[in-house]
Amino acid sequence: MKCKLALCLLLSATVAARAESELRFCLRSEPKTFNPVLVEDDSSETVRYLTGGVLMRLNRATQQLEPELATSWKVSGNGKTISFKLRQGLHFSDGTPFTAEDVAFTMQKLMDPSVHSPTGDAFRSGEGRVVTRVLTPTSVTVTFPAPVVGLDKLFDEVAILSAHSGQKEMAVLGPYRVADYKPGSYLLLKRNPNYWKHDTSGRQLPYIDAVRLEIQQNRDMELLRLMRGEIDFINSLDAEYYDKLKAQASGLVEDAGTSLDAEQMWFNQVAASPLPAYEKAWFTSTNFRRAISDSINRDDLARVVFRGYARPAVSWISPANKYWFNAKLQPRRFDQQAALALLAQDGFSRKNGTLYDRAGHAVEFSVITNAGNKAREEMATMIQQDLAGIGIKLNVVTLDFPSLIERITRTFDYEACLLGLTNNSLDPNTQMTVWLSSGDDHQWDPHQKTPATAWEAEIDTLMREQASTADVKKRKQAVDRVQEIVWQQEPFIYLVNKDSLSAVSPSLHNAHPVVLRPQVYWNIDQLTLGNEVARTR
């Protein structure tokens, strides 16, 4: 009798547990903050995306802005002012009403210099105060001291805070709210009871009741958990794992196409670096850089290292960035004869299979990359064989990441480096520090007082030009020209653009992975789970 009772209790508990649909996936690190204005790491960004309500949202599939808390908006004053019309009758998760005062409060927090908001930094265009005027409870205007490039799109990352809630940043307007957090173990989000969106049949969104974010650093464990059905998707997979998973369960994997990320290689052109003068002369020569670029078989890199889930890269903007990519540019063709001809123009010659410069130095240099990144190590090894084809000896050196960063940012004691660029934003303005010759991330020769070359000076002018106008056509022309210059000069030798690969459990419905982050759950309020579908029916 006791056994039967226990069994009944167990069954009823199981049924109760299943009645609430729960989406599960892994965070690769602990979220550093739940405060949306302080977000700078991926895990906190995930929480912000799932819980934060924004005025408008960039549709990750169409790459167009769509209204959310704001029904309409207007940018004026050459990108200095933005006016919003807000939805009426909305409430935060704790029941506090949403008004224009909350937008003003959020902007004040965002731009407060003492808060040091990384999201707010994107709005800082010039000296002076940001003025927010609440016109009515549903209309608000924000004026910046100087034009802000791509102003409206920046609001995709601005989660609105409540000005009056006692729960502060834990009161949210997004589809979920934080319900439980066990550091090192999991973060549980539950449906926001006051979420404003409804489907066409009038049912309140999101469909899934809860989201459990398991904190799991080990990617192998993450894969095993997906295979065991313990999690519902993996947002980003590398090509090797994608292939292996595809071989075992082809229905699990999704290739959303070329991503925004690029793998690239560059030479150290820092004048004060400890390299010998003849090496500095090689690396600052456009012909030398172009010859190296022509000698690299990018098709092989994409096919062999990335198993076909990548394409030869052309520019610092990926073709996945539909508007800003300069479609006139073509990837460099693998042509070692053309490379040797370029090198001959600089006085290089090949004797007994070894390339020598004009002064008789054998051409040998090292490329550093981060240890443990198998794809980069394999790319470097393939480039090693490609360059051997024109008589260059390349030494591949893998370093732990802190040592590598020390060399490329402080001591400049390296010859070439192979790394990747992770790009989260569509707007080229976010790469200002890479392209301005004075920038910290101008890796081949950072922190220049004046541009070292005429083409760097031209890039400086063009990047400043595109940053100072709200005219999108003018910006596009300037950015296209910068892409052309970079293609000609090759300060970064772009290798491949990887595909955006993910794995999605068959029980998760309505998931349409895209190349923009967050790839799988960008339409979180539309996702349904297997049991949810059954329940709806």
Partner 1 sequence: MKSPRGLAIGFLALVIAACVAGPLFQGPAYAQQFRDVPDAAPSRAHRLGTDDLGRDRLARLLEGTRVSLLLAPAAALLSTLLAGLVGATAALAGRWIERALLAATDLFLSLPWLFLLITVRALLPLNITPFASVTVTFVLLGSLGWAAAARVVCADTRALCSADFVLAARAGGSGRLRLLWRQVMPNLMPVLSAQFWVSIPVFILTEANLGMLGLGVAEPLPSWGGLLRELEGFAMFSAHWWQFMPLVLLVVVVGCFHLTLHRQEISI
Binding site for partner 1 (CB under 8 A): 218-220, 223-224, 240-241, 244, 247-248, 300, 303-305, 364-366, 368, 371-374, 377-378, 380-382, 384-385, 395-400, 403, 413-415
Contact 29, 44 (CB under 8 A): no
CB 336 within 8 Å of CB 294: yes
What minimum distance in Å lies between the beta carbon of 377 and partner 1?
6
- Give 367 or 478: the residue with its C-beta nearer to partner 1: 367
Nearer to partner 1, 378 or 458 (CB): 378
Q: How far is the CB of 224 from partner 1 (least distance, A)?
A: 7
Kind of pairing, strands 22-27 and 210-215? parallel
Which of 312, 320, 309 has its CA nearest to residue 241? 309
Least Å distance, CB 253 to partner 1, is 14
Cβ proximity to partner 1, 14 vs 218, nearer residue? 218
Instruction: Enter the tokens of residue 144.
Output: 């910046």
Helix, strand, coil share (%) of the chain residues, nearest 5 = 35, 25, 40
DSSP annotation string for 256-282: EEEEEEEEEEEE---TTSSS-HHHHHH
- Min. distance of Cβ 388 from partner 1 in angstroms? 9
Which of 354, 430 has the CB closer to partner 1?
354
State in angstroms the smallest separation of the CB of 159 from partner 1.
Answer: 35
Nearer to partner 1, 225 or 442 (CB): 225
Nearer to partner 1, 101 or 364 (CB): 364
Q: Which is nearer to partner 1, 15 or 247 (CB)?
A: 247
Least Å from the CB of residue 376 to partner 1: 10
Cα atoms in the 13 Å half-sphere on the side-chain side of 85: 5
Q: CA-to-CA distance for 407 and 271, rounded, in angstroms?
A: 15
Token digits for 84? 């919003």
Going along 131-228, which residue ranges are E strands? 131-136, 139-143, 176-182, 186-191, 210-215
- Given the complex with partner 1, which of 50 and 416 has the nearer CB atom? 416
Q: Are 459 and 485 in contact (CB under 8 A)?
A: yes
Distance CA 99, CA 85 (A): 10
In angstroms, what is the minimal distance from the CB of 215 to partner 1? 18
Report the nearest approach of partner 1 to the CB of residue 298 (Å).
Answer: 13
Please tell me what DSSP assigns to residue 521.
Answer: T
> Do residues 379 and 263 make contact, with C-beta atoms less than 8 angstroms apart?
yes
User: What is the closest distance, in whole angstroms, from the C-beta atom of residue 400 to partner 1 in the complex?
Assistant: 5
| Dihedral Cα 66, 68, 72, 77, nearest 10 deg | -80
Closer to partner 1 at the Cβ: 100 or 275? Answer: 275
Q: How long a stretch of residues is the chain? A: 537
